Chain A
Amino acid sequence: MSSRKQPKGKIRPPKKPNSADAQFNDNWDRLAQAIREIHKKNASILSFEELYRNAYNMVLHKNGDKLYNGVREVITQHLEEVAVSQVVPAFPLSGASSSQTNPNGAGGANFLKVLKTVWEDHTTCMLMIRDILMYMDRVYAKTANVPLVYDLGLDLFRDTIVRSQNYPIQNHLLEVLLQQIKLERENEIIDRTNVKASIDMLLELTDASTKDTVYATDFENKFLETSSEYYRVEGQMLVGEYDAPEYMKKVDKRLNEEEQRVRHYLSQTTEPKIRNIVEEELISKHLKTVIEMENSGLIPMLRNEKMDDLGRMYKLFGRVVKGHDEMKSAISDYIRELGKAINETVTSNTTAEGGNAASGDKQTGATVAVRWVQEVLDLKDKFDKVQNLALSNDKAFQTSFNEAFEYFINKNSKSPEFISLFIDDNLKKGLKGKTEEEVDSVLDKTITLFRFIGEKDVFERYYKQHLAKRLLLGRSVSDDAERGMIGKLKVECGYQFTTKLEGMFNDMRISSDTMTDFKEYLDKSVLEKPKLDLSVTVLTSTFWPMNLSASPRCNLPPELTKACGTFQNFYLGRHSGRRLTWQSNMGTADIRGSFKARKHELNVSTYQMVILLMFNDKQDGESLSYEQIKGESDIPEADLKRNLQSLACAKYKILVKEPKGKEINPGDQFNFNNDFTAPLQRIKIQTVASKVESEGERKETREKVEEARKHQTEAAIVRIMKDRKTMEHNLLIAEVVKQLQSRFMPNPALIKKRIEALIEREYLERATGDRRVYNYLA
């Protein structure tokens, strides 16, 4: 037998409305009373089972809506009471005066504390109410499509407390929150727990219309607005008061603080927004001002190599769109400026030199070149260091720096010559005092400068000249270093660039073999042996930079002419069909000179030997005039002056000149210096082997380069046309430029002229239909 009459009664339709109503009222009264007890924190006297059963029965009897509305009413009533009795009394001293009379925000903090308690009480109560109304949530709320009771509680709290229509709770709350944040920004200690509790509360409440959190709709925008304003003012204040490094430190600190703030008590969604504001107000708006700060901006940082500050600026400015661009262009401009200054010291030096050019202190020329390259290298080093230590090796910066270097290096039209001279200087003297590794690293750096040169063909020409002199005059200190350098150039420009240079080395090797053979030949031969040791280097004319047509004239002494003849017979006997041209301007000779004090062995150039031998026939004190020497020797004027200078005006004065002076002029008289003394037995008379070219020589070089370019351009055109057979004008130009630009930048007018020349010589023709198209003629 079942004792459960009640459920049976429940299932019955409400035929007895009175009894059902009474039951409902009874059930509801108990529940309402219980909820009040929960609000009073008196839940321990309540029975979960009973209350649950009451609510269950009400829902079961289709009184869910009455129950739901009743609950809403009881909670609203309670929250109204809470607003009046707890929240309103905790308002900080009202309005504007509060922030002044109560600068530490203690009132505000207290208000937040009260709100925190109110909120915690509310959520705790709602959890218990949810427990006893579980059946209502499950059965009624689902079907009636109303919020679950806990969410109802949140909505009620939002409308009754946070957005109360009756009391300015919302205003106070926002004002206090913003004030607390402001205090914290001004280095006051605030109670973050209370702020966080309020923020969390706002995050849990949902705005009915936007479905967003109340935090987002009510608080966030205000927070961002006030932050914007705050940092706008702060930015202006800071740029006025601090130098660039200090400013950046402050900004760094601010960014860090805001990030920490978000992490500690705001919503993570606010993080990018507040970051943007700080970046905009403190970085974007003051980019230029900070970069250009006098005595502390970007340029002073570079000048004083403040790597930490530069690194900070790089990181900081990288946060905003234009930041790195501004830095890049400022640094590039600075590089150009420094480069221009380096270029100017050269021109001022060379013009100064030009003033006493006749004095012929040609060493200065080479020194200028070496110094120019050294300064450029130092500059490069400096910015490599900046790039490395402060700019995280940012490729974009590297590119921009390279452009700046390229710009000013090519502004100096002598840069190809200078760089070649610098290499010359290092390969000549380098190994003295420097280890091979050091020289190698200097040369590696030089290669980086070489890359910047637009006219690589001009460099090649100079390099050949300088290399030729090093090889022929035996000035090159290390064969390995020379080959190393050529290897580097090969890597940069390919083998075409270096075949001729390698050919020069080959000639040197073959020549030394030839000389061994020649000696054997002389030993075996019945011919009269030359009275002197002749050493000949046979050069392939196309590899070497000497000009055959303008082969230097010089009247050699008869013994030498004879020796040369012997060699010529020997050589042509072995290699028929070749032609030998004597380059007397490149030779050296060892001669013995008797002076009053002692004998000295003199190592001199062929020209100097010719000059000195003239004095053999002269009596003591008998002098020769410049014109006599010139006439008798037939040495070209420039070379003659240079060699006389070495003999009469340099360290070792083998000749005495009248009148004295550093320059050689027509009409000068020369005497053999019998009184010459020197500590060493063997004396090397320095000839100036490498020097910066004079204007005339430069012009000549230029012409040669232009001539070579014509050939290269034609060769490129023919190569391309042979492959394509027919091609449109512009495409052809573009292709030619592409093929040649690694050596030099051909201008279209030059290419056009070459095309015309090729048409004339019937390599190409214009297409009959279209004048802009060319055909290749096999």
Chain B
Amino acid sequence: LPNLSKDLSLLLSENEDYNMIINVGEQPNVKQFKVHSIILRVRSSYFRAALSSEWAKVENNYITFNKPNINPKIFEIILTYIYTGTIILDESISSDTMSILEVMMAADELCLQEMID
């Protein structure tokens, strides 16, 4: 199981065969994440709804999604959790109560109940 988690994190960092682009944050602090819609779908009911045929927007063969109200740094933690099931907090965040609260709020918005627990 640790291997599975590691391999999946590679999938995120090397973004092979990605089919979806998420733009996170507000200008000028916007970061683009290249992800795999299928993983997001199975891991999160938020993304399952967002990626349903009624809602998904496709541009240049990539599903495009904007998430302005979350800090890219926070979103990265969320995304890592979605891919690997583990929460990795670096110094700058784990020491900052506000940041931790931000992570939890974002998880709540995205219906990641398990992550909050």
CB of A564 to closest CB in B, whole Å: 113
Beyond A6-B69, A49-B67, A56-B109, whether A131 also contacts B55 by CB under 8 A is yes
Interface: B65 (CB within 8 A): yes
Interface: B21 (CB within 8 A): no
Contact for A49 among B26, B50, B102, CB less than 8 A: B50
Query: With A and B bound together, what is the CA distance between A541 and B71 in angstroms?
Result: 123
Interface: A128 (CB within 8 A): yes
Beyond A43-B54, A49-B50, A131-B55, whether A7 also contacts B111 by CB under 8 A is no
A residues near B111, Cβ cutoff 8 Å: 134-135, 138
Query: With A and B bound together, what is the CA distance between A43 and B67 in angstroms?
Result: 19
B residues near A7, Cβ cutoff 8 Å: 69, 102, 105
B residues near A53, Cβ cutoff 8 Å: 69, 109
Contact for B50 among A4, A6, A48, CB less than 8 A: A48
Whether B71 contacts A3 by the Cβ 8 Å rule is: yes
Interface: A167 (CB within 8 A): no
Residue-by-residue, is B46-76 near A (CB-CB < 8 Å gives 1, otherwise 0)?
Answer: 1001101011010000000111011100000
Query: With A and B bound together, what is the CA distance between A138 and B55 in angstroms?
Result: 20
Interface: A52 (CB within 8 A): yes
Nearest chain-B residue to A7 (Cβ)?
Answer: B105
Query: With A and B bound together, what is the CA distance between A80 and B35 in angstroms?
Result: 43
Contact for A3 among B25, B45, B46, B50, CB less than 8 A: B25
Within 8 A of A (CB), among B70-110: 70-71, 98-99, 102, 105, 109
Contact for A48 among B55, B69, B99, B109, CB less than 8 A: B55
Query: With A and B bound together, what is the CA distance between A6 and B105 in angstroms?
Result: 12
CB of A131 to closest CB in B, whole Å: 4
Interface: B29 (CB within 8 A): yes
CB of B77 to closest CB in A, whole Å: 14
Interface: A2 (CB within 8 A): yes
B residues near A47, Cβ cutoff 8 Å: 57, 66
B residues near A138, Cβ cutoff 8 Å: 111
Residue of B49, B57, B102 with most partner-chain A CB within 10 A: B49
Whether B55 contacts A43 by the Cβ 8 Å rule is: yes
Nearest chain-B residue to A51 (Cβ)?
Answer: B55
B residues near A56, Cβ cutoff 8 Å: 109
Whether A3 contacts B26 by the Cβ 8 Å rule is: yes
Residue of B45, B50, B55, B70 with most partner-chain A CB within 10 A: B55
Q: Helix, strand, loop or mixed for chain A's interface?
A: helix
CB of A44 to closest CB in B, whole Å: 9
CB of A141 to closest CB in B, whole Å: 14
Nearest chain-A residue to B55 (Cβ)?
Answer: A48
Query: How extensive is the interface on chain B, given as a class?
Result: 20 to 34
CB of A45 to closest CB in B, whole Å: 10
Contact for B49 among A4, A46, A48, CB less than 8 A: A48
A residues near B57, Cβ cutoff 8 Å: 47
Whether B71 contacts A49 by the Cβ 8 Å rule is: no
Whether A4 contacts B46 by the Cβ 8 Å rule is: no
Nearest chain-A residue to B25 (Cβ)?
Answer: A3
Nearest chain-A residue to B57 (Cβ)?
Answer: A47
Whether B102 contacts A3 by the Cβ 8 Å rule is: no
Query: With A and B bound together, what is the CA distance between A252 and B70 in angstroms?
Result: 69
CB of A51 to closest CB in B, whole Å: 9
B residues near A49, Cβ cutoff 8 Å: 50, 65-67
B residues near A43, Cβ cutoff 8 Å: 54-55
Residue-by-residue, is A719-746 near B (CB-CB < 8 Å gives 1, otherwise 0)?
Answer: 0000000000000000000000000000
Whether A52 contacts B46 by the Cβ 8 Å rule is: yes
CB of A63 to closest CB in B, whole Å: 16
CB of B27 to closest CB in A, whole Å: 9
B residues near A2, Cβ cutoff 8 Å: 71, 98-99, 102
Query: With A and B bound together, what is the CA distance between A555 and B67 in angstroms?
Result: 137
Contact for B52 among A4, A52, A131, CB less than 8 A: A131
Whether A135 contacts B66 by the Cβ 8 Å rule is: no
Whether A134 contacts B102 by the Cβ 8 Å rule is: no
Nearest chain-A residue to B51 (Cβ)?
Answer: A48
B residues near A134, Cβ cutoff 8 Å: 45-46, 49, 111
B residues near A48, Cβ cutoff 8 Å: 49-50, 55
CB of A61 to closest CB in B, whole Å: 13
CB of B110 to closest CB in A, whole Å: 9
Query: With A and B bound together, what is the CA distance between A603 and B105 in angstroms?
Result: 125
CB of B28 to closest CB in A, whole Å: 9
Within 8 A of B (CB), among A5-51: 6-7, 43, 46-49
A residues near B54, Cβ cutoff 8 Å: 43, 127-128, 131
Residue-by-residue, is A226-251 near B (CB-CB < 8 Å gives 1, otherwise 0)?
Answer: 00000000000000000000000000
Nearest chain-A residue to B47 (Cβ)?
Answer: A48
CB of A632 to closest CB in B, whole Å: 123
CB of A458 to closest CB in B, whole Å: 88
Residue of A6, A46, A134 with most partner-chain B CB within 10 A: A134
B residues near A6, Cβ cutoff 8 Å: 69
Nearest chain-A residue to B99 (Cβ)?
Answer: A2
Nearest chain-B residue to A3 (Cβ)?
Answer: B29
Query: With A and B bound together, what is the CA distance between A3 and B74 in angstroms?
Result: 12
Nearest chain-B residue to A1 (Cβ)?
Answer: B29
Residue of A4, A127, A138 with most partner-chain B CB within 10 A: A4
A residues near B70, Cβ cutoff 8 Å: 4
A residues near B52, Cβ cutoff 8 Å: 131
Whether B71 contacts A4 by the Cβ 8 Å rule is: yes
Nearest chain-B residue to A130 (Cβ)?
Answer: B49
Residue-by-residue, is A101-140 near B (CB-CB < 8 Å gives 1, otherwise 0)?
Answer: 0000000000000000000000000011001101100100
A residues near B102, Cβ cutoff 8 Å: 2, 4, 7
Query: With A and B bound together, what is the CA distance between A135 and B44 in angstroms?
Result: 13
CB of A743 to closest CB in B, whole Å: 83
Query: With A and B bound together, what is the CA distance between A68 and B34 in angstroms?
Result: 36
CB of A40 to closest CB in B, whole Å: 14
Whether B109 contacts A135 by the Cβ 8 Å rule is: yes
A residues near B65, Cβ cutoff 8 Å: 49
A residues near B69, Cβ cutoff 8 Å: 4, 6-7, 53
Query: With A and B bound together, what is the CA distance between A587 and B75 in angstroms?
Result: 124
B residues near A52, Cβ cutoff 8 Å: 46, 49-50
Residue-by-residue, is A46-72 near B (CB-CB < 8 Å gives 1, otherwise 0)?
Answer: 111100110010000000000000000
Query: With A and B bound together, what is the CA distance between A135 and B112 in angstroms?
Result: 11
A residues near B29, Cβ cutoff 8 Å: 3
Query: With A and B bound together, what is the CA distance between A7 and B50 in angstroms?
Result: 22
Query: With A and B bound together, what is the CA distance between A49 and B71 in angstroms?
Result: 15
Query: With A and B bound together, what is the CA distance between A7 and B67 in angstroms?
Result: 14
Nearest chain-B residue to A138 (Cβ)?
Answer: B111
Query: With A and B bound together, what is the CA distance between A128 and B56 in angstroms?
Result: 12
Nearest chain-A residue to B66 (Cβ)?
Answer: A49
Query: With A and B bound together, what is the CA distance between A4 and B29 in angstroms?
Result: 10
CB of A122 to closest CB in B, whole Å: 15
Query: With A and B bound together, what is the CA distance between A127 and B48 in angstroms?
Result: 12
Nearest chain-A residue to B52 (Cβ)?
Answer: A131
Query: With A and B bound together, what is the CA distance between A56 and B46 in angstroms?
Result: 12
A residues near B26, Cβ cutoff 8 Å: 3
Query: With A and B bound together, what is the CA distance between A48 and B67 in angstroms?
Result: 10
CB of A26 to closest CB in B, whole Å: 15
Whether B49 contacts A131 by the Cβ 8 Å rule is: yes
Nearest chain-A residue to B96 (Cβ)?
Answer: A2
Nearest chain-B residue to A8 (Cβ)?
Answer: B98
CB of B87 to closest CB in A, whole Å: 19
Query: With A and B bound together, what is the CA distance between A134 and B99 in angstroms?
Result: 25
Query: With A and B bound together, what is the CA distance between A518 and B24 in angstroms?
Result: 130
Query: With A and B bound together, what is the CA distance between A46 and B56 in angstroms?
Result: 10
Residue of A6, A48, A134, A135 with most partner-chain B CB within 10 A: A48
A residues near B45, Cβ cutoff 8 Å: 134
Residue of B29, B54, B70 with most partner-chain A CB within 10 A: B54
10 contacts between A and B (CB under 8 A): A3-B25, A3-B26, A7-B102, A49-B66, A53-B69, A131-B52, A132-B49, A134-B45, A134-B46, A135-B109
Knowing that A3-B26, A52-B49, A127-B54 touch, tell me 6 more A-B residue pairs with CB under 8 angstroms: A4-B70, A7-B102, A46-B55, A53-B109, A131-B50, A134-B49
Shortest Cβ-Cβ A-B pairs, 6 listed:
A131-B49, A48-B55, A48-B50, A3-B29, A128-B54, A4-B71
